[in-house]
Structure 1
Amino acid sequence: VFSKFVPIVQFGALSAFVMVIAVVTELFITPMTLSSVRLITLWDVIGLELRDRLIKQSLLLEGLSKFQIRRLILMSHMQDAKAGEQIIREGDAGDKMYLVVDGEMSVSKDVNGKRASIATLEPGDVFGEIALVSSQPMTADVFAVTNAKLLSLDWKTLERLRRLSPFITSKLFLNISKILGNRLIETTDKMVCRI
């Protein structure tokens, strides 16, 4: 039954128009919008075993509160590594740095055809920071000695963090600078010992 009363006809047409717009939005615009938004679930938070020891030992997290660390972790990417898995290959291009959350990693380098162990990394240690800040190839191989959890940070993540939390990012960059300074001191000491 169709009404001949003009206001009712106009209201019906307007209602039909709104329903068509709602269907188009629900089927096309909402999925396109959500595909570019990273959803963080409670599962992500519960799945991460953030230990006080990690916070105290990590130079990367120095000076950050637990809330700031949680925010950094939620904006980063967690990666699981199986024992024996190679995470970084010497000479490959790299744009990430990693924080060891759990497990043990081995850093080694090929010297005259022989594998030379450089360091063993434990929870709180970082690697890949040189490639992240300099866009240089990876300087060593890194293998997981045990099953491990790694937190990876790339420039895209750091840029997003800079926009949303400039204070956290400034502390993070200061800590990365300290880590690079320590690496330089260690390298200089090793070079002096060889002379």
Structure 2
Amino acid sequence: MTLLKSEMDLLRSVPIFAGMEPSRLKLIAFTSDSIAYRQGQVMCRQGERGDSAYVIVAGKADVSIETEDGDFVVATLGPGDVVGEIAILCDTPRTATVTAKSDVSALRVRKECFLQLLRQFPEIAAEVMRGLAERLTHMNQELVAARNRAAIAPDTAD
């Protein structure tokens, strides 16, 4: 089996690409890089310039943000999830650090190719937006829960 065919098969297993025509999958596979991360390895770091997005093919990755009290995990992503797209879409530094929670197999899609994919394939753009909305909803729920915990916690500053 050729490397390109193998990458196309990987893409077909990812929900945002599953229903795409083989010719489109071939284009995506040709323009992306297959990359592996060991458990604990950083995939991208908060504050760095974003030059690519990652589609997780296998494994899990933690998304964390730096706080005064240390890193705080805000999400755990798995197969089919896209990560790193915020820095590309908003042209800002990475908003979080992504660390492989287990061994991770991913496809790295460079910024120009990722933006071109979103323009050419509205179904991918819709899936990316859905993923972002889910993460935002989850983060809002976490913030409300944290605020409620802080409001009922006894004041120990006395």
TM class by smaller structure: 0.7 to 0.9
- 2:71 aligned with 1:115: yes
TM-score of the pair, normalised by structure 2: 0.74
C-alpha displacement at 1:130, in angstroms? 1.1
Does residue 192 (structure 1) correspond to residue 144 (structure 2)? The answer is yes
Instruction: Choose from 132, 135, 139 the match for 1:180.
Output: 132
Shift of 1:51: 7.9
Q: CA deviation at 1:91?
A: 1.0
Shift of the alpha carbon at 1:108? 2.0
Q: CA deviation at 1:76?
A: 1.7
Unpaired runs of 5+ residues, structure 1, are 1-40
The one-letter code matched in structure 1 to 2:139 is T
Q: How does 1:86-105 map to 2 (within 5 A)?
A: 86-105=42-61
Alignment of 1:117-156 (within 5 A): 117-156=73-112
CA contact (8 A) 1:96 1:128 kept: yes
Identical amino acids, percent of aligned pairs: 25
- The 5 A counterparts of 1:1-195 are 42-46=2-6, 50=10, 54-55=13-14, 58=15, 60-61=16-17, 64-65=19-20, 67=22, 68-158=24-114, 161=117, 166=120, 169-193=121-145, 194-195=147-148
With over 3 angstroms needed to count, the CA separation of the structure-2 counterparts of 1:170 and 1:146, relative to structure 1, is same
Cα root mean square deviation, aligned: 2.8
- How many pairs does the alignment contain? 146
- Do 2:4 and 2:29's aligned partners in 1 also have CA atoms closer than 8 Å? no
| Structure 2 SS opposite 1:107 | strand
Deviation of the 1:138 alpha carbon: 1.1
- Amino acid aligned to 1:42: T
Higher relative contact order (CA 8 A, sep 6+): 2
TM-score, normalised to structure 1, is 0.62
Spell out structure 1 runs of 4+ moving beyond 4 A: 159-163
